[in-house]
Structure 1
Amino acid sequence: MKTALRSAIDHAFLQADQALAARVPQRAWPWLERAHILTQRMPVLHTRSHWLMLRAGWQHGDYREVLGQAMRMPAALLFSRIWVPLGNTGRARVSALQPMPMSEQLHQLLD
């Protein structure tokens, strides 16, 4: 894995973990979405992003998010290397199959 990509992933997970530890899930979401986009083709890290999204949903009391993430975790493990919708933020309120636009910075990290 490229150093810049790994550094960006680690930073996103660190920021999300800190927000969740502080019990401020709304601060974690942008970092979790970023981590999700960057790890979509890496089954274990992709699943970690969904696990942390599940925790954020739980902290926020958003049980739709919790249920959606619980269903996405096995799919992340099984399908990450086969096909992913690029740019998808991973939230339960968006289709798991919907590609989404990405920033130029994310494109560069993934190229």
Structure 2
Amino acid sequence: MIFYTKIPTTLSPYFQRELQMYREEYQSGRLQIAWSHLERAHIIGQRYLFSHSFVHWEMLLFGFRIKNPKEIIGQIPRLLVGGVKSFVGKVPVGNPGGANFPPLKSFEIAQDIQEIFSKAGVR
């Protein structure tokens, strides 16, 4: 069995870029755009324990910052269980990670993110 802990170095810059764009958009008050970058970071990093857990932590903090009880409550189990599922390679691929989506449902991955995976040589 393969355990997935750390995001590959070829994929990490794309993941970090989404997190940076999240921070910039959040600082500028463009919360919806900021959130979309967290979702993209989630999709990129969801197969890896540390990056997956980190994005759910950021989503939880975002929920607190915007005072959204649904997001706060929805992120707690995702934070506790999501990383474990990554660790053993059992994630709902393409799931954006927010509380507004079923936690175990897979989604089609956007073409540009598929291209990121291809460039990074993963999947």
Into which bin does the TM-score normalised by the smaller protein fall?
0.7 to 0.9
Alignment of 1:7-86 (within 5 A): 7-22=13-28, 24-82=30-88, 83-86=90-93
**Structure 1, gaps ≥5 residues long:** none
For 1:33 and 1:109, the matched residues in 2 are separated by 15
Residue 28 of structure 1 contacts residue 56 of structure 1 at CA under 8 Å; is this kept in 2?
no
| Matched residue type, 2:107 | M
For 1:43 and 1:20, the matched residues in 2 are separated by 25
Give the % identical residues: 28
**Structure 2, gaps ≥5 residues long:** 1-7, 118-122
| Matched residue type, 1:30 | S
Higher relative contact order (CA 8 A, sep 6+): 2
Give the helix-richer structure, 1 or 2.
Answer: 1
Q: 59-68 or 30-39: which moved more? A: 59-68
Q: 1:56 to 1:23 in 2, by over 3 A?
A: farther
Q: 1:38 to 1:75 in 2, by over 3 A?
A: same
Q: 6-15 or 101-110: which moved more? A: 101-110
TM-score (norm 2): 0.79
Residue 25 of structure 1 contacts residue 59 of structure 1 at CA under 8 Å; is this kept in 2?
no
Residue 42 of structure 1 contacts residue 81 of structure 1 at CA under 8 Å; is this kept in 2?
yes
1:59 deviation in Å?
1.6
Q: 1:105 to 1:27 in 2, by over 3 A?
A: closer
